[in-house]
């Protein structure tokens, strides 16, 4: 068992306490909204069925005709089409990406628009915005990133503070004292359950950080510098068709895509302009099965193709953790994320209840640290690494140190 330095333990407990007190209300909100958002597909499916599902009636229009119908209905030229897998499936044409994504669905039998769908039309979009930016725009994303950064500190310090002494032994990892009052009970529930889901919490946080502004942009920069992101031609960037003759009909590309037996949802990237290319690719959370093929729109010649192995290691890791964060690796992953959301909410509430049970009247009840304690070089290096890795955390630590410096100076002047 770990032999703990008691002064260090008190110092870490103090910062665990302060960071938790500030961030827990936000953590509870993020856990609840994240848990709700996991039900997005189940919530949206029945509300979108009247658009996505059509009645099979006679012969379907060609995909080329459907594409022509979709073009004037989107603000930008549609650049992807989802290859239908069922006869009663409306054909989806999409322009834009992420929150700017717009899809129009064509009834192939009636030759008319079945409906339009944009992420902004769903109630779940508001939940996502609340989860990712607290409905405060870019300022809100900075707050969420700061809270997420401090959560890494909360988890690391929490593990050290909780770690049982030699006297407690292995049973200390499981002991919850039910008969020593509510304060002790909720403290134990917070610490024991928190310890056992700490790895899952770190993995979940790792999956959320790429969406942040400062860390996310820094991570993308590292990918670019180290050439560990997507290959340049993954999205057909830099590829051009030879502008000669008549372009291949979309129907021919659909047949080509269907013959490939790709896993998951199969998409066709549509050429924009005479220099644009056709692309065939699949979206599946079996990441290793993702493939991309790019073709000259006039000759049908394959220009380049990519497998998942062509993607750089940092991007592969990033996409894995992001998919894990969203519970997209199947039922087990979805249930695991639901469990994480519920347990994170519970242990956060347990911490607050335990705090209010111990809090002295009229005081914050911040744990005391011996005046003789000084953080060792190892701790300072760890803080420095975290500060560089999570810039907003680093800035907040500098601000705290500045405030502490002036507070001490003021106290000296008074005395």
The string of pLDDT tens digits covering residues 94-104 is 998 877 889 99
Q: Is 87 helix (H, G, I), strand (E, B) or coil?
A: coil
Higher-pLDDT residue of 303, 13? 303
Query: Residue 127 and residue 132: Cα distance in Å, rounded?
Result: 9
| Closest among 12, 373, 359, 15 to 163, alpha carbons compared | 12
Query: Residue 75 and residue 95: Cα distance in Å, rounded?
Result: 8
What's phi and psi for 57, nearest 5 deg? Answer: -150, 95
Give me the mean pLDDT over the 273-289 stretch. Answer: 94
pLDDT at 5 (0 to 100)? 75
* CB contact at 8 A, 155 and 195: no
Place of tokens 């938790």: 20
Q: How many CA atoms lie within 13 A of 365 on its CB side?
A: 13
The pLDDT confidence band at residue 350, using thresholds 50, 70 and 90, is very high
% of the chain residues with pLDDT over 70: 99
Element (H, E) at 4: none
The pLDDT confidence band at residue 3, using thresholds 50, 70 and 90, is low
pLDDT at 150 (0 to 100)? 94
Flag whether pLDDT at 205 surpasses 70: yes
Q: What value does the mean pLDDT of the chain take?
A: 92
pLDDT at 2 (0 to 100)? 58
pLDDT at 75 (0 to 100)? 80
**Residues with Cβ within 8 Å of residue 361, at least 6 apart in sequence:** none
pLDDT at 292 (0 to 100)? 97
Could you tell me which residues are beta bridge partners of residue 277? 296
Give me the mean pLDDT over the 220-247 stretch. Answer: 93
Question: Which strands make up the sheet holding 112-117, listed edge to edge?
Answer: 112-117, 102-107, 91-95, 80-82, 265-269, 277-283, 291-296, 302-307
| Closest among 162, 181, 139, 231 to 16, alpha carbons compared | 162
Flag whether pLDDT at 296 surpasses 60: yes
Query: Residue 253 and residue 280: Cα distance in Å, rounded?
Result: 8
pLDDT tens-digit readout, 108-162? 999 999 999 998 889 999 999 999 999 999 999 999 999 999 999 999 999 999 9
pLDDT at 172 (0 to 100)? 86
The pLDDT confidence band at residue 361, using thresholds 50, 70 and 90, is confident
Number of residues that this document lists for the chain:
415
Give the gyration radius of the chain's Cα atoms: 27
Could you tell me which residues are beta bridge partners of residue 295? 278, 302
How much is the pTM?
0.91
């Amino acid at each position: 068992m770990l032999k703990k330095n008691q002064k260090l333990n008190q110092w870490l407990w103090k910062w665990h306490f302060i960071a938790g007190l500030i961030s827990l209300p936000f953590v509870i909100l993020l856990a609840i909204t994240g848990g709700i958002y996991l039900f997005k597909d189940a919530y949206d499916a029945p509300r979108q069925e009247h658009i996505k599902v059509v009645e099979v009636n006679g012969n379907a229009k060609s995909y080329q005709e459907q594409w022509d119908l979709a073009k004037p209905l989107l603000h930008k030229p549609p650049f992807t089409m989802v290859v239908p897998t069922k006869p009663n499936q409306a054909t989806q044409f999409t322009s834009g990406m992420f929150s700017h994504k717009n899809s129009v669905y064509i009834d192939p039998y009636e030759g008319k628009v079945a409906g339009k769908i944009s992420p902004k039309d769903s109630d779940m979009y508001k939940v996502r915005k609340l989860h990712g930016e607290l409905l405060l725009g870019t300022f809100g994303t900075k707050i969420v990133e700061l809270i997420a950064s401090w959560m890494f500190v909360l988890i690391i310090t929490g593990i050290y503070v909780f770690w049982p002494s030699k006297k407690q032994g292995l049973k200390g990892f499981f002991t919850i004292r039910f008969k020593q009052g509510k304060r002790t009970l909720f403290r134990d529930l917070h610490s024991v359950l928190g310890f056992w889901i700490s790895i899952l919490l770190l993995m979940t946080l790792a999956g959320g950080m790429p969406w942040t502004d400062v860390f996310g942009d820094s991570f993308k920069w590292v990918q670019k510098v180290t050439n560990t992101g997507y290959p340049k031609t993954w999205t057909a960037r830099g590829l051009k068709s030879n502008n000669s003759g008549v372009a291949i009909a979309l129907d021919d590309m659909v047949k080509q895509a269907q013959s490939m037996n790709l896993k998951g949802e199969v998409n066709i990237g549509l050429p924009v302009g005479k220099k644009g290319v056709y692309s065939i690719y699949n979206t599946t959370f079996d990441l290793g099965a993702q493939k991309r093929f790019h073709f000259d729109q006039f000759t049908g010649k394959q220009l380049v193709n990519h497998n998942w192995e062509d993607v750089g290691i940092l991007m592969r890791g990033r996409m894995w953790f992001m998919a894990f964060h969203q519970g997209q690796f199947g039922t087990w992953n979805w249930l695991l994320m639901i469990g994480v959301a519920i347990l994170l909410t519970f242990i956060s509430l347990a911490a607050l209840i335990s705090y209010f049970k111990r809090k002295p009247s009229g005081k914050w009840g911040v744990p005391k640290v011996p005046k003789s304690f000084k953080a060792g070089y190892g701790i300072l290096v760890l803080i420095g690494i975290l500060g560089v890795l999570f810039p907003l955390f680093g800035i907040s630590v500098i601000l705290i140190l500045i405030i502490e410096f002036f507070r001490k100076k003021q106290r000296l002047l008074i005395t």
